[in-house]
Amino acid sequence: MTTRPTAVRYRLRQAGGTVAVLIFFTAGLAGSIGAAITVGPADLSLGTVWTVVADHLGIASGDVPLLRDHIVWELRLPRVLGAAVVGAGLAAAGAVLQTVTRNPLADPYLLGVSSGASLGAVAVIVLGLGTGTAALAGGAFTGALVAFALVVAIAGREAGRAPTRVILAGVAVGQLCAALSSFVIIWVADPHATQSITFWLSGSLARADWTALAWAAPTLGVIATLILGYARSLNAFAFGEEAAATLGVDVGRTRWILLIATALLTAVLVAVSGAIGFVGLIMPHAVRLLTGPDHRRLLPVVILAGASFMIWVDTAARTLFEPRELPVGVLTALFGVPAFLVLLRRRRAGR
Amino acid sequence: MLEISDVSWAVPAARILDAVTCTVPAGSLVGLLGPNGSGKTTLLRVVAGLVRPRTGQVSIGGETVADLPRAVAARRMAVLAQYAETDLDLTALEVVLLGRTPHRRSRWSDSDADHTAALAALDRVDLSGYAQRKWHTLSGGERQRVQLARALTQEPELLLLDEPTNHLDIGHQLQLLHLVRRAGITTLAALHDLNLAAMFCDTVVVLQAGRVVATGPPHAVLTARLLAEVYGVDARIDDHDGRPVISYRPPATPPPGTAGE
């Protein structure tokens, strides 16, 4: 017979592992933020960074030259935090989409949601509906929802059972949105708008500033909290939707709430950074290797790990070819495509 | 006790269930028999509350299933499907702990009580020591037993089994139904194998084209005549200490009137 101490041992192992992993990744994220700010053309020390931040937060007053203060507070910090928010959000969205669509290849980018959001943002600029973050986010959100609805419509009712159809539909819709974005930008023939095509289609954190963060960070906070609240329900999807329903999950409601939440999150992130691919695909798989598939561990860790990962990829993007900047989406694709192929192979081998 | 009264269900092209009425008394194991397409799976889905019946109602302990919130229904009924498949790298213990989902005590961790229940359920299906085994390393028979343990961990009043032995060899078929029987929970089980049904069920209900055509103890229901009418097979029934044992003769002509898959 099973004794109570055995049960306690398993429970403690589960809880202890979770706490250790969370501490590790939280420390890693804090370290990444601090360290990434120091990297760049102007040499800054961690001490300087700390003094500036403490000064602005009113913790301590420091004496840092105005230029350096400006570089830390107005340029690097918002950019690094922007990368963290975008990475965290994309990774969380990917993890949720992979479970809800029961498709290990799901990711906001592959499902066409990111491209739809880009098109929406581009349309807002071109039609002169506004240039503020709110207007762009609104356009991006509309675009994301329309693209997602289109993917669901094309994939059809069997979407839950035919993951490949969803991916193919997502790729088709994504290509269509990208083509329309290019078309609109070239048609308008405004040199400024043309320049922004690279930004919207391959993603960059160059525009991340405090205004953008003021939108994106609270959105991430609210939606991440919502998603974390569904961790246990998401676990129940392991053996499919019907099994989840027999475990007491209101599958229809859960799925729609989470799909709309991830579309909203993706839209706001795209308004900050353009469409960045593969982070949402790769991070959940990498983290699952460490935490296992339990969403109560996976989701918090994937948010922290996604943030740290994006900070370092963006740091590489802005420094590798100084003074030119590489679109960060180009780098994530360089990492992501081989990882995607590995996943595809493993999936076929598993069958 | 489960009561199914006058349940009908249809898709645009066809009537799948036609005024089905039957009862599963508390503590008994009732077998749901019938050829492919006779409506067994649909009936189980209606009973589980996954689809609403067009007419009629299903009640468990006097309460209408269709009115129960999903989480409440999942605390009262557990389902063991034909086949469970996942891409995720779960351990047997994690799968069994899924059975605690409807009993949300804590959102963030599984309690000692949850773990105790899960490990006890693994014991009950003779899989003590399998807690940390990975799902994808388990054999078909072990997987179904882990799923049975998951179902037991839901602490249901009623077990619903949808041809749970389909993909198992005969040894594992017997073992699984033996474990279900031993669990002592009121059970409605769709079964393909008539000999298994005869061996383990208190009562069998035979469906044909969505209608109940016979109900009763296996020895009374499973007659050569019924099997010829319902399955279109030429069968011979032997009596082994009051339990019917069915053997089949090869068909001389294609089976008459058998509905396609």
Q: Supply the DSSP symbol for B103.
A: G
Half-sphere exposure (CA, 13 Å, Cβ side) for A272? 30
Query: Does B46 map to a domain?
Result: yes
pLDDT of residue A135: 81
> In this complex, which of B78, B93, B112 lies closest to A4 when CB atoms are compared?
B112
Q: Is A288 on the interface with B (CB under 8 A)?
A: yes
Query: Does B66 map to a domain?
Result: yes
Examine the pLDDT at B261 and tell me if it is beyond 50: no
Which of the listed ranges A7-11, A222-226, A315-319 does the model predict with the highest average pLDDT?
A222-226
A99-122 pLDDT tens trace: 988 888 888 887 788 889 888 888
Measured in angstroms, the CA of A146 and the nearest CA of chain B are apart by 29
Query: Does B225 map to a domain?
Result: yes
- B87 and A233: CB-CB below 8 Å? no
Chain B residue closest in CA terms to A350? B87
Tokens of A191: 């040199």
Confidence of residue A263 (pLDDT cuts 50, 70, 90): confident
- Our CA angle for A202, A204, A209, nearest 5°, is 150
- Our CA angle for A36, A40, A43, nearest 5°, is 100
Is A62 or A321 the better-scoring residue by pLDDT?
A: A321
Half-sphere exposure (CA, 13 Å, Cβ side) for A48? 21
- Average pLDDT (B195-210) is 95
Chain A residue closest in CA terms to B101? A247
Composition of chain A by helix, strand, coil, percent to 5: 80, 0, 20
Number of domains in chain B: 1
Q: Which residues of B touch A229 (CB under 8 A)?
A: 107
Query: Does B254 map to a domain?
Result: no
- B90 and A238: CB-CB below 8 Å? yes
Confidence of residue B26 (pLDDT cuts 50, 70, 90): very high
- Average pLDDT (A8-14) is 75
Chain A residue closest in CA terms to B79? A246
Q: Which residues of A touch B69 (CB under 8 A)?
A: 250
**Angle, helices A77-100/A251-273, rounded to nearest 10 degrees:** 150
ipTM comes to 0.89
Composition of chain B by helix, strand, coil, percent to 5: 35, 30, 35
Average per-residue pLDDT for chain A: 85
Measured in angstroms, the CA of A157 and the nearest CA of chain B are apart by 16
Query: Does B256 map to a domain?
Result: no
Chain B residue closest in CA terms to A250? B70
A160-197 pLDDT tens trace: 556 667 778 888 999 999 889 888 877 776 766 666 66
Confidence of residue B260 (pLDDT cuts 50, 70, 90): very low
Tokens of B198: 């005869």
B36-72 pLDDT tens trace: 989 999 999 999 999 899 999 999 989 999 999 999 9
Contact B28, B203 (CB under 8 A): yes
- A239 and B108: CB-CB below 8 Å? no
Shortest CA distance to A239 belongs to which of B42, B82, B156, B50? B82
User: In whole angstroms, how far apart are CA A282 and each of A36, A121, A147, A216, A295?
Assistant: 22, 25, 22, 22, 16
Distance CA B211, CA B208 (A): 5
pTM of the model: 0.87
Examine the pLDDT at B153 and tell me if it is beyond 70: yes
Which of the residue ranges A19-23, A120-124, B39-43, B163-167 would you say has the lowest mean pLDDT?
A: A120-124
How many residues are given for chain B? 261
CATH architecture of the domain A79-350 equals Orthogonal Bundle (1.10)
- Average pLDDT (A40-55) is 86
Centre a 10 Å sphere on the Cβ of residue A324 and count the other Cβ atoms it contains: 7
Chain A residue closest in CA terms to B100? A247
Q: Is A239 on the interface with B (CB under 8 A)?
A: yes
User: In whole angstroms, how far apart are CA B66 and each of B20, B32, B52, B58?
Assistant: 16, 21, 6, 7
Best mutation site among A2, A225, A299, A343 for testing chain B: the one with the most B CBs within 10 Å?
A: A2
Distance CA B112, CA A95 (A): 28
Is A71 or B251 the better-scoring residue by pLDDT?
A: A71
Q: Is A163 on the interface with B (CB under 8 A)?
A: no
A298-326 pLDDT tens trace: 999 999 999 999 999 999 999 988 888 88
Examine the pLDDT at A239 and tell me if it is beyond 90: yes
Best mutation site among B88, B138, B148 for testing chain A: the one with the most A CBs within 10 Å?
A: B88
pLDDT of residue B117: 92
Q: Is B11 on the interface with A (CB under 8 A)?
A: no
Examine the pLDDT at A345 and tell me if it is beyond 80: no
Best mutation site among A1, A10, A295 for testing chain B: the one with the most B CBs within 10 Å?
A: A10
pLDDT of residue A27: 96
Average per-residue pLDDT for chain B: 91
- Average pLDDT (A36-60) is 87
For residue A275, give the amino acid letter.
A
Query: Does B261 map to a domain?
Result: no
CATH of the domain at B208: 3.40.50.300
Chain A residue closest in CA terms to B129? A2
| Close Cβ partners of A277 (under 8 Å, ≥ 6 residues apart) | A107, A109, A110, A114, A203, A329, A332, A333, A336
Examine the pLDDT at A333 and tell me if it is beyond 80: yes
3-state secondary structure of A184: helix
Residue ranges covered by each domain of chain A: 79-350
Shortest CA distance to B218 belongs to which of B231, B205, B232? B205
Distance CA B249, CA B233 (A): 8
Distance CA A329, CA A94 (A): 16
- A247 and B123: CB-CB below 8 Å? no
Chain B residue closest in CA terms to A14? B109
- Average pLDDT (A87-94) is 96
Examine the pLDDT at A42 and tell me if it is beyond 70: yes
Shortest CA distance to A170 belongs to which of A113, A104, A94? A113
Measured in angstroms, the CA of A218 and the nearest CA of chain B are apart by 23
Examine the pLDDT at B154 and tell me if it is beyond 50: yes
Is A351 or A15 the better-scoring residue by pLDDT?
A: A15
pLDDT of residue A8: 78
Peptide bond preceding A65 in cis form (omega within 30 of 0): no
Chain A residue closest in CA terms to B121? A2
- B119 and A2: CB-CB below 8 Å? yes
Distance CA B153, CA A121 (A): 49
Q: Which range of residues forms the domain containing residue B58?
A: 2-249
pLDDT of residue A18: 81
How many residues are given for chain A? 351
- A10 and B115: CB-CB below 8 Å? yes
| Close Cβ partners of B198 (under 8 Å, ≥ 6 residues apart) | B204, B218, B219, B222, B243, B244, B245, B246
Tell me the percentage of chain B whose pLDDT exceeds 90.
77
Strand partners, B79: B160
- Give the sheet arrangement for strand B14-24, strand by strand: B14-24, B2-11, B55-60, B63-64
Q: Is B46 on the interface with A (CB under 8 A)?
A: no
End-to-end CA distance of chain A: 36
Measured in angstroms, the CA of A309 and the nearest CA of chain B are apart by 23
- Average pLDDT (A86-95) is 96
Shortest CA distance to B84 belongs to which of B16, B11, B207, B167? B167
Distance CA A32, CA A49 (A): 13
- A248 and B101: CB-CB below 8 Å? yes
Q: Is B121 on the interface with A (CB under 8 A)?
A: no
Q: Is B106 on the interface with A (CB under 8 A)?
A: no
Measured in angstroms, the CA of A174 and the nearest CA of chain B are apart by 26
A154-165 pLDDT tens trace: 877 655 556 667
Tell me the percentage of chain A whose pLDDT exceeds 70.
91
Contact B200, B31 (CB under 8 A): yes
Examine the pLDDT at A341 and tell me if it is beyond 70: yes
Q: Supply the DSSP symbol for B168.
A: S
Q: Which residues of A touch B98 (CB under 8 A)?
A: 235-236, 238-239, 247
